[in-house]
């Protein structure tokens, strides 16, 4: 089955990386909107237009299901895209419910982009879960820039995160929910800074589960294929392929950090 994964940039590779392990027999397309990344600091109107263009491209490629592997794009545009296109569209949701189910009555810190933390969608989710007193939201836009330039582990990354996280009394928190797919590249630095008892939770497994549910796919043995696109241009250049491989290796290294 032809399955498309879309993100503003390379964050969505973390969802693709997981999907390729669970579904090793499918035909994958990955679309990174490298011309327009980052989305999280733009206006919702701009993001809606970018997402619409990307989905139109992926529909034209005959994608049979599209995963919006971007919390920001999901927050702004997924409802409208489902109204416009008939292909199944699966979005990302910050895994707040998972964190609260695992650790009832303990606080959850959700890190995401500025658009996601101010958007209606996350506030509706928190209300639905009746978790207003148990949830804090933190925007970390610089991590998107660090990830795009492959600066995964540096003094600048660590200083930025230490500065941002120092304002929380983590004794009250059970977990940090990664509400932006770009943040998966920094699990080791988060782990280094956060107290041992605070778990790092991402939404990748939940999204792939939802993809399987919506498509009725059965995991089968075999070899997957994957094509990469930057804003509609297929990536074939050796250097760019190397860049993408480096992200996949980084995700291998981050696996198991929680």
Which residues make up the interface to ligand DGL (CB under 6 A)?
A: 7-9, 11, 37-40, 70-72, 113, 116, 144, 180-182
Q: What is the smallest separation between the CB atom of 154 and ligand DGL, expressed in angstroms? A: 19
| Nearest CA-CA partner of 58 in 50, 207, 116 | 50
CB 16 within 8 A of CB 39: no
Q: What is the smallest separation between the CB atom of 222 and ligand DGL, expressed in angstroms? A: 29
Angle at 156 between CA 153 and CA 158, to 5 degrees: 60
Q: What is the smallest separation between the CB atom of 165 and ligand DGL, expressed in angstroms? A: 19
Q: What is the smallest separation between the CB atom of 40 and ligand DGL, expressed in angstroms? A: 3
Comparing CB distances to ligand DGL, the nearer of 121 and 217 is: 121
Comparing CB distances to ligand DGL, the nearer of 72 and 174 is: 72
- Number of residue whose CB is nearest ligand DGL: 40
Beta strands in 113-218 (DSSP E): 135-139, 173-178, 199-201
Coil vs helix vs strand at 43: coil
Coil vs helix vs strand at 249: helix
Comparing CB distances to ligand DGL, the nearer of 113 and 135 is: 113
- In the residue annotation, 153 being an active-site residue is answered as no
DSSP 10: S
CA pair distance 77, 167, nearest whole angstrom: 32
Q: What is the smallest separation between the CB atom of 90 and ligand DGL, expressed in angstroms? A: 14
CA pair distance 166, 134, nearest whole angstrom: 18
CA pair distance 253, 209, nearest whole angstrom: 22
Comparing CB distances to ligand DGL, the nearer of 17 and 182 is: 182
- Residue 78 neighbours by CB under 8 Å, 6+ apart: 68, 89, 91
Comparing CB distances to ligand DGL, the nearer of 28 and 217 is: 28
Catalytic residue, from 47, 70, 76, 99: name it: 70
Catalytic residue, from 78, 180, 217, 251: name it: 180
| Tokens, residue 130 | 């009746």
Residues tagged active-site = 70, 180
């Amino acid at each position: 089955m032809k399955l498309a994964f879309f993100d503003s940039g390379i964050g969505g590779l973390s969802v693709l990386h997981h999907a390729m392990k669970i579904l090793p027999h499918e035909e994958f397309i990955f679309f990174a909107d490298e011309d327009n990344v980052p989305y999280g600091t733009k206006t919702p109107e701009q993001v809606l237009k970018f997402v619409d263009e990307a989905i139109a491209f992926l529909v034209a490629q005959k994608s049979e299901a599209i995963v919006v592997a971007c919390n920001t794009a999901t927050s702004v545009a997924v409802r409208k895209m489902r109204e416009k296109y008939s292909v199944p569209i699966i979005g990302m949701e910050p895994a707040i419910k998972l964190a609260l189910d695992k650790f009832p009555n303990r606080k959850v810190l959700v890190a995401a982009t500025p658009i996601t933390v101010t958007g209606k969608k996350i506030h509706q989710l928190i209300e639905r879960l009746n978790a207003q007193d148990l949830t804090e939201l933190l925007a970390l836009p610089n991590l998107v820039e660090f990830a795009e330039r492959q600066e995964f582990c540096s003094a600048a990354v660590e200083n930025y995160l230490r500065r941002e996280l120092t304002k929380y009394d983590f004794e009250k928190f059970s977990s940090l929910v990664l509400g932006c797919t770009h943040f998966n590249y920094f699990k080791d630095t988060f782990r280094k800074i956060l107290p041992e008892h605070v778990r790092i939770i991402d939404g990748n497994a939940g999204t792939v589960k939802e993809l399987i549910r919506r498509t009725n796919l059965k995991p089968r043995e075999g070899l997957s294929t994957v094509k990469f696109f930057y804003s509609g241009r297929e990536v074939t250049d050796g250097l760019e392929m190397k860049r993408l491989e480096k992200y996949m290796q980084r995700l291998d290294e981050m696996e198991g950090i929680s």
